[in-house]
A and B are shown apart, each in its own frame.
Chain A
Amino acid sequence: MKYFIILFTAFSFLCPSILAGSFDDAVGARSSALGNHTSAISDVFSVSNNQAGIGFLKKYTFGISAKNKFLVKELSLMDAAAVLPTKTGVFGLGVHYSGTSLFSESKIGIAFAKSFGDRFSFGLQFDYLNFRISEYGSKNLFTFEAGVQYFLVPEKLLAGAHINNPLRLTLDEETDEKLPTVMRFGLNYSPSKKVSVLAEVEKDLDYAPVFKAGVEYRVVEKLALRGGFNANPFQAAFGIGLYLKNLTIDAASLFHPQLGVSPHLSLTYAFARKQ
Chain B
Amino acid sequence: MRLRENNKATSEASLRLRRKAQRGNPKFKDLLLLDLPLCILPKRGNDLRSLLLYLLFLFILPYISLAQERKQKPSIEEIRDDITQILETVSEETDAAFNLDAFLEQLVDLYQKPMNLNRASYEDLTNLRLLSPEQADAVVRHREQFGNFISIYELQAVEYMDVDAITRMLPFVTVRSDIDDYQIQSIKQLLFEGDFELYLRYSQILEEQDGYVPLDSGETGTRYAGNPSRFYTRFRYNFPNKLSYGFTAEKDAGEEFFHDTQPRGYDFYSGHLFVRNASIFKSIAVGDFEAKFGQGLIMWSGFGFGKSPFVTNIKKSSEALKPYTSVDENNFLRGIGTTIEAGNFEITGFFSQDRKDANIELLVDTLEDDFISQATSLQESGLHRTESELEDKDAAKQLITGGHIKFQKRASHLALTATHTRLDFPLGANTSPYNQFQFSGDRLTNFGMDYALLIKNFYFFGEVALRNNWSVAMLYGFIASLDPKVDISVAYRYYQKDYFSFFANPFGESRNPFNEQGIYAGISLKPFKKIQLDTYIDYFKFPWLRYQVDAPSNGIDFLAQLTWKPTKKIELYGRYKNETKQENEPGNTSKLDVLADVNKQNIRFNARYKVSESITLENRFEYVIFNDGEKENGYLIFQDITYSALGFPLSVSARFALFDTKSYDSRVYAYEDDVLYSYSIPGFYNKGTRFYLVLSYKATRNIDLWLRFAQAYVSNQVTIGSGLDEIDGNVRNEIRGQVRFKF
Instruction: Please list the residues of chain A having a beta carbon within 8 angstroms of any beta carbon in chain B.
Output: 189, 191-192, 194-195, 197, 213, 215, 217, 227, 229, 231, 234, 236, 257
Give a binary string over B292-308; 1 marks a CB under 8 Å from any A CB, 0 the rest. Answer: 00000000000000000
15 A-B pairs with C-beta separation under 8 A: A189-B527, A191-B484, A192-B483, A192-B485, A194-B482, A194-B483, A195-B486, A197-B486, A197-B523, A213-B535, A231-B558, A234-B556, A236-B519, A236-B539, A257-B541
Say yes or no: B554 contacts A257, CB within 8 Å.
yes
Say yes or no: A215 contacts B558, CB within 8 Å.
no
Inter-chain contacts of B490 with A (CB < 8 A):
227
Say yes or no: B527 contacts A191, CB within 8 Å.
yes
Say yes or no: B541 contacts A191, CB within 8 Å.
no
Instruction: Tell me the bound Cα distance from A227 to B492 in angstroms.
Output: 14
Q: A213 contacts which of B484, B486, B523 (Cβ < 8 Å)?
A: B523
Say yes or no: A217 contacts B539, CB within 8 Å.
no
Closest A residue, CB atoms, query B518 = A257
How close is B309's CB to chain A, nearest CB, in angstroms? 17
Interface size on B, residues (CB 8 A): 20
Instruction: Tell me the bound Cα distance from A215 to B490 in angstroms.
Output: 12
Q: B482 contacts which of A217, A229, A234, A257 (Cβ < 8 Å)?
A: A217
Say yes or no: A234 contacts B483, CB within 8 Å.
no
Beyond the given A189-B527, A213-B535, A231-B556, could you list 17 further A-B residue pairs with CB under 8 A, ordered by the A residue number? A189-B525, A191-B483, A191-B484, A191-B485, A191-B486, A192-B485, A194-B482, A195-B483, A197-B486, A213-B537, A217-B480, A229-B539, A231-B537, A234-B539, A234-B556, A236-B519, A257-B539
How close is A262's CB to chain B, nearest CB, in angstroms? 16
Closest A residue, CB atoms, query B525 = A197
**Is residue B705 contacting chain A, with contact meaning CB distance below 8 A?**
no
Interface of A is mostly: strand
Say yes or no: B521 contacts A229, CB within 8 Å.
yes
Instruction: Tell me the bound Cα distance from A231 to B576 in angstroms.
Output: 15
Say yes or no: B527 contacts A215, CB within 8 Å.
no
Inter-chain contacts of A194 with B (CB < 8 A):
482-483
- Which positions 506-550 of chain B face chain A at CB distance < 8 Å? 519, 521, 523, 525, 527, 535, 537, 539, 541
**Is residue B465 contacting chain A, with contact meaning CB distance below 8 A?**
no
Instruction: Tell me the bound Cα distance from A197 to B483 in angstroms.
Output: 11
Instruction: Tell me the bound Cα distance from A96 to B537 in angstroms.
Output: 33
Inter-chain contacts of A229 with B (CB < 8 A):
521, 537, 539
Inter-chain contacts of A213 with B (CB < 8 A):
523, 535, 537
**Is residue B488 contacting chain A, with contact meaning CB distance below 8 A?**
yes
A-B pairs, top 6 by smallest CB distance, nearest first, are A191-B485, A195-B483, A195-B482, A234-B539, A191-B483, A217-B482
Inter-chain contacts of A234 with B (CB < 8 A):
539, 556
Say yes or no: A215 contacts B541, CB within 8 Å.
no
Inter-chain contacts of B484 with A (CB < 8 A):
191
How close is A119's CB to chain B, nearest CB, in angstroms? 18
- Which positions 459-481 of chain B face chain A at CB distance < 8 Å? 480
Closest B residue, CB atoms, query A216 = B482
Inter-chain contacts of A191 with B (CB < 8 A):
483-486, 527
The verdict on A227 contacting B521 (CB below 8 Å), with A213-B537, A215-B488, A257-B541 known, is: yes
How close is B365's CB to chain A, nearest CB, in angstroms? 44
Inter-chain contacts of A215 with B (CB < 8 A):
482, 486, 488, 523
Closest B residue, CB atoms, query A193 = B483
Instruction: Tell me the bound Cα distance from A156 to B480 in angstroms.
Output: 20
Instruction: Tell me the bound Cα distance from A236 to B519 in angstroms.
Output: 9
How close is B530's CB to chain A, nearest CB, in angstroms? 15
Inter-chain contacts of B480 with A (CB < 8 A):
217
How close is A153's CB to chain B, nearest CB, in angstroms? 9
How close is B582's CB to chain A, nearest CB, in angstroms? 13
Instruction: Tell me the bound Cα distance from A257 to B552 in angstroms.
Output: 13
Inter-chain contacts of A231 with B (CB < 8 A):
537, 556, 558
Inter-chain contacts of B523 with A (CB < 8 A):
197, 213, 215
Question: Among A189, A197, A236, which residue has the most Cβ atoms of chain B within 10 A?
Answer: A197
How close is B508's CB to chain A, nearest CB, in angstroms? 15
Closest A residue, CB atoms, query B485 = A191
How close is B666's CB to chain A, nearest CB, in angstroms? 22
Closest B residue, CB atoms, query A156 = B527
Inter-chain contacts of A192 with B (CB < 8 A):
483, 485
How close is A100's CB to chain B, nearest CB, in angstroms? 32
Closest A residue, CB atoms, query B484 = A191
Question: Among B483, B525, B535, B556, which residue has the most Cβ atoms of chain A within 10 A?
Answer: B483
Instruction: Tell me the bound Cα distance from A194 to B486 in angstroms.
Output: 11
Question: Among B485, B488, B490, B539, which residue has the most Cβ atoms of chain A within 10 A?
Answer: B539
How close is B489's CB to chain A, nearest CB, in angstroms? 11
Instruction: Tell me the bound Cα distance from A217 to B456 in angstroms.
Output: 14
Closest A residue, CB atoms, query B480 = A217
How close is A198's CB to chain B, nearest CB, in angstroms? 11
Inter-chain contacts of B486 with A (CB < 8 A):
191, 195, 197, 215
Instruction: Tell me the bound Cα distance from A217 to B457 in angstroms.
Output: 12
Instruction: Tell me the bound Cα distance from A217 to B486 in angstroms.
Output: 10
Question: Among B482, B488, B525, B556, which residue has the most Cβ atoms of chain A within 10 A?
Answer: B482
Instruction: Tell me the bound Cα distance from A191 to B535 in angstroms.
Output: 17
How close is B581's CB to chain A, nearest CB, in angstroms? 13
Instruction: Tell me the bound Cα distance from A197 to B522 in angstroms.
Output: 12
Inter-chain contacts of B488 with A (CB < 8 A):
215
How close is A205's CB to chain B, nearest CB, in angstroms? 23
Inter-chain contacts of B556 with A (CB < 8 A):
231, 234
Instruction: Tell me the bound Cα distance from A201 to B332 in angstroms.
Output: 47
Instruction: Tell me the bound Cα distance from A195 to B483 in angstroms.
Output: 7
How close is B99's CB to chain A, nearest CB, in angstroms? 34
How close is A193's CB to chain B, nearest CB, in angstroms? 10
How close is B472's CB to chain A, nearest CB, in angstroms? 20
Inter-chain contacts of B527 with A (CB < 8 A):
189, 191
How close is B631's CB to chain A, nearest CB, in angstroms? 16
Closest A residue, CB atoms, query B578 = A231
Instruction: Tell me the bound Cα distance from A191 to B541 in angstroms.
Output: 34
Question: Among B485, B488, B521, B556, which residue has the most Cβ atoms of chain A within 10 A?
Answer: B521
Instruction: Tell me the bound Cα distance from A74 to B554 in angstroms.
Output: 28
Instruction: Tell me the bound Cα distance from A231 to B578 in angstroms.
Output: 11
Inter-chain contacts of B541 with A (CB < 8 A):
257
Instruction: Tell me the bound Cα distance from A213 to B558 in angstroms.
Output: 12
Closest A residue, CB atoms, query B486 = A195
Instruction: Tell me the bound Cα distance from A217 to B487 in angstroms.
Output: 11
How close is A230's CB to chain B, nearest CB, in angstroms? 10
Inter-chain contacts of A217 with B (CB < 8 A):
480, 482
Instruction: Tell me the bound Cα distance from A217 to B458 in angstroms.
Output: 12
Instruction: Tell me the bound Cα distance from A74 to B597 in angstroms.
Output: 32
How close is A240's CB to chain B, nearest CB, in angstroms? 15
How close is B560's CB to chain A, nearest CB, in angstroms? 10
How close is A155's CB to chain B, nearest CB, in angstroms? 14
Inter-chain contacts of B539 with A (CB < 8 A):
229, 234, 236, 257
Instruction: Tell me the bound Cα distance from A213 to B527 in angstroms.
Output: 16
Instruction: Tell me the bound Cα distance from A215 to B524 in angstroms.
Output: 12
Question: Among B485, B486, B490, B525, which residue has the most Cβ atoms of chain A within 10 A?
Answer: B486
Instruction: Tell me the bound Cα distance from A197 to B521 in angstroms.
Output: 13
How close is B456's CB to chain A, nearest CB, in angstroms? 9
Instruction: Tell me the bound Cα distance from A16 to B416 in angstroms.
Output: 46
Instruction: Tell me the bound Cα distance from A197 to B527 in angstroms.
Output: 11
Closest B residue, CB atoms, query A238 = B490
Closest B residue, CB atoms, query A190 = B483
How close is B48's CB to chain A, nearest CB, in angstroms? 42
How close is A233's CB to chain B, nearest CB, in angstroms? 9
Inter-chain contacts of A227 with B (CB < 8 A):
490, 521
Question: Among A191, A234, A236, A257, which residue has the most Cβ atoms of chain B within 10 A?
Answer: A234
Instruction: Tell me the bound Cα distance from A191 to B533 in angstroms.
Output: 14
Inter-chain contacts of B485 with A (CB < 8 A):
191-192
Inter-chain contacts of A189 with B (CB < 8 A):
525, 527
Instruction: Tell me the bound Cα distance from A213 to B311 in angstroms.
Output: 15
Inter-chain contacts of A195 with B (CB < 8 A):
482-483, 486
Closest A residue, CB atoms, query B456 = A219
Closest B residue, CB atoms, query A236 = B519
Instruction: Tell me the bound Cα distance from A217 to B537 in angstroms.
Output: 19
Instruction: Tell me the bound Cα distance from A191 to B527 in angstroms.
Output: 7
